[in-house]
Structure 1
Amino acid sequence: MEHVDAVVVGAGQSGLAAAHALRAEGLRPVVLEAADQPAGSWPRYYDSLTLFSPARYSSLPGLAFGGDPDRYPHRDEVVAYLLRYADRLDADIRTRQRVREVRADGAGFAVDLASGARLGARAVVAASGSFGRPYRPELPGLESFTGEVLHAADYRGPEPHAGRRVVVVGSGNSAVQIGAELARHARVTLAGRRPVRLARQRTLGRDLHWWLTRSGLDTAPLGRLVRTPPTQLVIDDGRYRAALADGAPDHRPLPTAADGARLTWPDGTTEAVDTLLFATGYRPDLDYLSPLGALDEAGHPRHRDGASRTHPGLAFLGPEWQRSLSSNSLRGVGRDAARTARRLARHPGR
């Protein structure tokens, strides 16, 4: 069994930030990534995805995003940035290496890979994100629905849905962005438990993230107070407000049931629907930690500011509201990574 200082599970933004911070603390991490390149889930997001934060607020520690700092980078620009970041890291990044399970082993951990290989590590950073575990709420009769059922994780672009009747479930950024894009090609309803809440992307000539940074709200350690993430604000440059006002997409409460090709709405009316697309977020993809007992009944990490409550040498990086509003973003994960690396460098098992 190969023995290493630390294993980082995942080579997306969180895993790469973790590797950078661990190297700064004198540790030599091995980063394990299931995909064939160190860019996390970014290459698998839908084609039109654009960051809601400008490039100046979208960098990991040690490497500026580059280009016009006030532009809003496209998905492919983020992928290229992460690949560039990984290439400049002095870290052992191993792709096509899926972690099957992590078990306690003395003062450290045994990390078993799907390939059959095993690593021994004094510390483990779980930075595998959530894209591999899409969340879909219950809808009575959904198992009998004969239309197409998708999650935002499966969506790439509007072309396959042209001319069809589509219901997008969700009220957050992805739901609104996808719904507005689809509505230019199809008849689309955005269905959610609550109204869409829009936030202006720019106020008094400044981007929202400028205000968040200047006010300190972006970094405030509120994670311990946030047990259930608050209703997501949809960042809008005016396009989404106009689209919703024009009814493209229209907005309705959640359907109450599905039956065959039809959905039932709360007012009792039914209609045939071709595609039901859930843009309802994700849950932490951490099943490989189950042998440790480090997760709660819902599969969420038991942690305080990213430090495991059950195993001192285990850390989590990238969960929403891990410590602050920006914890699971390009602009904020580096701060959490630095705190995590300092803590693990002091771990007695080192």
Structure 2
Amino acid sequence: MTGDRHTQVVIVGGGQSGLAAGYHLRRLGLDFVILDAQSDPGGAWRHTWDSLRLFSPAAFSSLPGRLMPPQRGEEYPDAPHVAAYLRDYEKRYELPVERPVRVLGVHRDGGLLRVETDSGTWHTRVVISATGTWWRPFLPAVRGRADFGGRQLHTVEYRRPQDFAGRRVIVVGGGNSGAQIAADLAYDSELTWVTQRPPRFLADDIDGRALFDAATARRRALDEGRTDTGGVASLGDIVAVPPVREARDRGLLKASPMFSRLTRDGVEWADGTRAEADAIIWSTGFRPALSHLAPLQLRGRRGHIAVEGTRVVNEPRLYLLGYGDWTGPASATLIGVGRPARDTARQVAESLS
């Protein structure tokens, strides 16, 4: 549909954060729409690698209002199971999602915000941006990256270990994605796993439940002016989900320090040691996907948008939800986004009244 349309609230993004916000806005009786650039429900979970597993059991990986059902035969659900849950969630609560609709820009327009899309214009009093980070992969500036003659790909492009069977593969990254992909490739590929610092595995009995509690405790301590607890970072970097634990225990996840440059045939360390490679997989993280907010000119030094809670300081009609701890403790996770989504919806309702 094209043309100008009006609503109280526009949510940009139909993944887990957008749906959680929609759930709470619906309970408060507000008029809203969710604009999702994807052709089908499920958010980024539809685009992950085949072996990806949640860090927590289903019951501890749920959005507000509805527990995720367990996946038969799996303690930690896979990505298709999560995508199916999000599809059911959207349908169950009759959330008004329009897709595929790509938001091109959010503009100030008098007392309203104007949301320009590829299928028309929305005028609204409030925008909740919930686009996540998956759509903006980060690649570090490493010397010689353009010289490498093999294949380079980011986590977002990796799918299955069979694509690299018998190949020499370097996985770069010491977080969960890097560890899980390295574990995937450890059996049938000639793997080199490279990390910026020695990998820190969390204790085997720690999963997403403990991580959420740690992130919440840290945020509470900081808000109350107490000593920083360190949050999740104090526990470690890598959740030992079963595939990672198995590869680690078999001695297949031995990390090398970060190399200094890429060569045409592979990589080279500062001491002159080299390793040849057919492919390099960069599991080097993401940045918030916020290009649609560029017309508002909100970025400060270092590109940061200042928020109080989830509300943008320099544009109080705009909220950022689900981008990480800076928009709510563990807000980029299924279990963690519920509380900041609830608080955001309440703030929105107050501002509209």
TM-score of the aligned structures, taking structure 2 as reference length:
0.90
> Who is 1:217 aligned against?
214
Asked whether the equivalents of residues 8 and 125 of structure 1 are also in contact (C-alpha less than 8 Å), the reply is: yes
Structure 1 pair 221–24 and aligned structure 2 pair: CA distance change class (3 A): farther
Counterpart check, 1:43 vs 2:46: yes
Measure the CA separation in 1 of the matches of 2:253 and 2:106: 45
CA shift for structure 1 position 244: 3.9
Structure 1 pair 158–298 and aligned structure 2 pair: CA distance change class (3 A): farther
- Residue identity (%): 35
> Who is 2:342 aligned against?
338
> Who is 1:102 aligned against?
106
Where in structure 1 are there 5+ consecutive unaligned residues? none
Equivalent of residue 124 in structure 1, options 107, 120, 127: 127
* Partner deviation per Cα, 1:189-217 (whole Å, 9 max, x = no partner): 11111111111242xxxx5445567xx53
Tell me how large the CA RMSD over aligned residues is: 2.4
* Partner deviation per Cα, 1:206-262 (whole Å, 9 max, x = no partner): x5445567xx53533628688999486211156535534655243111111112123
> Who is 1:179 aligned against?
182
Asked whether the equivalents of residues 14 and 127 of structure 1 are also in contact (C-alpha less than 8 Å), the reply is: yes
Asked whether the equivalents of residues 222 and 323 of structure 1 are also in contact (C-alpha less than 8 Å), the reply is: no
* Partner deviation per Cα, 1:286-329 (whole Å, 9 max, x = no partner): 00101112233544432121110111110011011035542211
Give 2:61's aligned amino acid.
Answer: S
Equivalent of residue 65 in structure 1, options 64, 68, 88: 68
* Partner deviation per Cα, 1:271-294 (whole Å, 9 max, x = no partner): 321111000110000001011122
CA shift for structure 1 position 64: 1.1
Equivalent of residue 194 in structure 2, options 169, 191, 194: 191
> Who is 2:96 aligned against?
92
> Who is 1:134 aligned against?
137
Structure 1 pair 111–210 and aligned structure 2 pair: CA distance change class (3 A): closer
Bigger proportion of residues as helix: 2
1:250-269 to structure 2, matched below 5 A, reads 250-269=254-273
Where in structure 2 are there 5+ consecutive unaligned residues? none
> Who is 2:35 aligned against?
32
Equivalent of residue 16 in structure 1, options 3, 19, 35: 19
Structure 1 pair 237–135 and aligned structure 2 pair: CA distance change class (3 A): closer
Asked whether the equivalents of residues 331 and 340 of structure 2 are also in contact (C-alpha less than 8 Å), the reply is: yes
| Runs of at least 4 residues off by over 6 Å | 223-229
The aligned length equals 342
1:230-269 to structure 2, matched below 5 A, reads 230=233, 233-237=237-241, 240=244, 243-244=247-248, 246-269=250-273
Does the residue aligned with 2:133 lie in a helix, a strand or coil?
Answer: coil
Measure the CA separation in 1 of the matches of 2:12 and 2:168: 40
> Who is 2:58 aligned against?
55
> Who is 1:329 aligned against?
333
Structure 1 pair 49–294 and aligned structure 2 pair: CA distance change class (3 A): same
